[in-house]
Amino acid sequence: MAIESTSRAYNTTGTTPIDQVLLARIELEERADAEVGKEMEALYFAPPGDNAQIILTVGKDECAAVADKDPHFQSDPGGALLRQMTRKIQKALEDNGEPADIACVKARDIARHLGCKAFVNADHLLASQDGSQKMHRQAIHVSIDDNKVHIHKTTTYTTINPARSVFGPQSNEPVTQVVDLAMQFTSTGDCVEAEVIKAAVRVAESPDLSVKSLVEDTKKLFGVPAASPASNDFLACLKDLYHLLSGIFLGARRIKFVVGDVEEVARVDPDAAARPDGISLDRLGLDENFDKTAWLASASKAYGRFKHAVTYQYDNDNVHVTRNRGPALDAQTQRKAIDEWARATLEKKERTLRTDRNLHVGNPLTFWGVPSLPKGTYAYATAHVAELAQAADLGSSEGDAKLFEEVCAALDGALFPAPGTERVVIKIDGNDIMDARMRGACQRLRGVETFAAESEVPDDFRETLRDVVRIGGLPSHTSVEQIATVKTALFSAVIGRIKEACPNEATQRQMFATIARGPAAMQIVRDINGEPTVKDNRNEKYRVAISTRKTMPALRDDAVGISFYSGHTRLSAEAKVYFFGDKFFESDSLTTTRAVTTAFFEVTDKNTRMTDATYQGDFVLRDKSKVPDRKLRKEFREMRETVKLAMKRNRRKSV
């Protein structure tokens, strides 16, 4: 059969299936990822033998091998596949230089197309519509190449034999029709464009009249125009030249058709007959002979450009990612994008420190001081604090108990600092809530608690606790039967002092929630902004300053301001500077470390809100030759702890 190569303008009304496939706009529905995951599970993990199942391969891997890398694969295979496909595409886009947050959202949108039936089943329109064909098997191959994601769909059909029951097995029926659809997503700048690269239908060569009619049906579905005159026809050459120039200068869009025997088409126009190696012919019920003898109709773009499905435009306002200038994405997707940006930022800072041997963050100082972190990131810290405040506002005993427990944990560093650590300083309008008497009482109780933990309860146990009650100015009726009772009384006394500064009970709940979760709120802001974090530093200086209108006149009635300060200017031996995951620097690998975080909350009787936060860090790596051996460091620490323990026991014996 002679090869026919023709073209025509596309039909904007989509009167033929090929126009609908090439030019349709398939917009993604705003479905939850869980729902998309269930759809992907039904499409790619259906029981074997189910015609609805699509054989999906990604590169050289089966979809199960891709999804199996997700910890939730067994319970949620579709969701696992969606997450892993997103991760693969995102990595490719990041490697191509795209910002991590936008790459994350783009990758998610592209991957979700695999869970969109309208997209996955777009090729079904190109099969014969006369009811004589039955879908046999389907396969999709995905390949990722820099900023492009290629998706190739192949579907095979068999002819329904009226002589057999339509309910009987037909697995031995030969394949009579094969539909291929090649699609491509391209990420460029702030856009993702999706287009159909090629659509093709193969029909088995057969003297059977029913099969021969498939050829004519396919030509009608494609709207293939009559063949052009011979190429030496002068008018035909002028016509082709006109179409070419119209596409270049006027953007005219046309569809190019190549029709003929597969072998001949492959020889003259290899792209028209191409199919990726990732599509397995055996699993589709095909043999190599089919492709050698079949008749082929292929359609692709000519001269102009047409897009298939979607063109998304992405933007970032320094915090939130938007699509097509619409509203912010759902909270879960948005937080994921922010976390990915933070991860990439920390990776870059970690590389800078390793390469340049120094890292400076939050510099240089402006005239007004250290520049504030982006205000759009404060909402996440505020939400974390508000969660506790809302639980307390419900008035339930569980909510009150949770608030009291977390406040006591936050005050523990002020009342009972661990040995060798800096005491947490909490001030109200400049006055330390821990006066000398209260500090003395807490130190005395800490000593009793330490002895009790080592099963060395002093003989005058109750008398010692009575001294703590007296020194701390606690009510005389405080029970001295248990350490925990006295400890709780000390916490309550300090909490009472804080309440005196703010009589409004509603504001008090908001204030204590802020005090309790202030450290975690600062950590959230650091994480979101991709800043290094110092952990396990016994020399941390932590300060909390509560201000009323007495010292901050700008505050409204019954409102308070709470500022937090966390400073690391000297690292203890156990301290580490963390960047991301398991990437950290030990204290003795750094000659200079300065990490200071500040935050300010405005607290009213209605809510609490972070209004400012800053971070400043300076890190300088020590010369590798001067970093002590880790084994020697460990032995030194163990020896030091042994000496401390021996000295402590000797002191007790002398007492």
Are 633 and 521 within one domain? no
Residues 490 and 428: their CA atoms lie apart, in Å, by 18
Are 584 and 637 within one domain? no
CA distances for 261 relative to 174, 209, 258, 284, 298, angstroms: 19, 18, 10, 21, 11
Are 461 and 482 contacting, i.e. CB atoms less than 8 angstroms apart? no
Are 553 and 646 within one domain? no
Cα angle, residue 531 at apex, residues 578 and 355 outer, rounded to 5°: 70
Strands (DSSP E) found in 406-497: 425-428, 431-432
Are 575 and 643 within one domain? no
Mean pLDDT, residues 495-521 taken together: 94
**pLDDT score, position 73:** 96
CB atoms near residue 82 (< 10 Å): 26
Among 31-45, 201-215, 219-233, 568-582, which stretch is predicted with the lowest mean pLDDT?
219-233
Q: What is the mean pLDDT of the chain?
A: 84
* pLDDT tens per residue across span 534-552: 999 999 999 999 999 999 9
Q: Is 199 helix (H, G, I), strand (E, B) or coil?
A: strand
pLDDT band at 90 (very low <50, low <70, confident <90, very high): very high
Q: Out of 195-204, 295-304, 476-485, give the one with best mean pLDDT.
A: 195-204
CA distances for 626 relative to 147, 299, 478, 587, 588, angstroms: 44, 68, 56, 13, 9
* Crossing angle of helices 100-112 and 33-44, rounded to 10°: 50
Q: Is 444 helix (H, G, I), strand (E, B) or coil?
A: helix
**pLDDT score, position 34:** 94
**pLDDT score, position 595:** 96
Are 477 and 545 within one domain? yes
pLDDT band at 625 (very low <50, low <70, confident <90, very high): low
Residue 460 lies in domain: 338-622
Q: Assess whether pLDDT exceeds 60 at residue 236.
A: no
How many domains does the chain divide into?
Answer: 2
| Residue 132 located in a structural domain | no
Are 539 and 403 within one domain? yes
What's the burial of 230, exposed, middle or buried (CB within 10 Å: 0-12/13-18/19+)? exposed
Are 636 and 552 within one domain? no
| Residue 151 located in a structural domain | no
- Residue whose tokens read 């650091």: 526
**pLDDT score, position 308:** 46
| Residue 526 located in a structural domain | yes
User: What is the C-alpha radius of gyration for the chain, rounded to an integer number of angstroms?
Assistant: 36
Nearest to 557 by CA among 498, 606, 627: 606
Are 509 and 589 within one domain? yes
Among 145-159, 389-403, 423-437, 518-532, which stretch is predicted with the lowest mean pLDDT?
389-403
| Residue 107 located in a structural domain | no
Are 644 and 616 within one domain? no
* pLDDT tens per residue across span 595-622: 999 999 999 999 999 999 999 999 999 9
| Residue 467 located in a structural domain | yes
Q: Assess whether pLDDT exceeds 90 at residue 433.
A: yes
What's the burial of 484, exposed, middle or buried (CB within 10 Å: 0-12/13-18/19+)? exposed
- Determine phi and psi for 576, rounding to 5 degrees: -140, 150
Mean pLDDT, residues 18-42 taken together: 83
Are 544 and 615 within one domain? yes
Mean pLDDT, residues 199-227 taken together: 79
Q: Is 553 helix (H, G, I), strand (E, B) or coil?
A: coil
Nearest to 512 by CA among 354, 394, 421, 405: 405
Mean pLDDT, residues 313-335 taken together: 85
Are 633 and 493 within one domain? no
Structure tokens at 245: 């120039």
CA distances for 559 relative to 123, 389, 471, angstroms: 63, 15, 33
Residues 135 and 156: their CA atoms lie apart, in Å, by 6
**pLDDT score, position 207:** 62
Mean pLDDT, residues 185-199 taken together: 90
Are 123 and 24 contacting, i.e. CB atoms less than 8 angstroms apart? no
| Residue 13 located in a structural domain | no
What's the burial of 624, exposed, middle or buried (CB within 10 Å: 0-12/13-18/19+)? exposed
**pLDDT score, position 519:** 94
| Residue 307 located in a structural domain | no
Structure tokens at 167: 């309910």
* pLDDT tens per residue across span 237-279: 555 555 555 444 444 567 888 999 998 888 888 988 889 999 9
- Residue whose tokens read 């090929």: 18
**pLDDT score, position 484:** 85
Residues 492 and 494: their CA atoms lie apart, in Å, by 5
Ranges of H-type helices in 454-502:
461-471, 483-500
| Residue 305 located in a structural domain | no
Are 492 and 610 within one domain? yes
pLDDT band at 361 (very low <50, low <70, confident <90, very high): very high
**pLDDT score, position 24:** 61
Residues 414 and 408: their CA atoms lie apart, in Å, by 10
- Report DSSP letters for 59-93, one per residue: TTEEHHHHHTTSTTTTT-HHHHHHHHHHHHHHHHH
Q: Assess whether pLDDT exceeds 50 at residue 169.
A: no
Q: Assess whether pLDDT exceeds 80 at residue 512.
A: yes
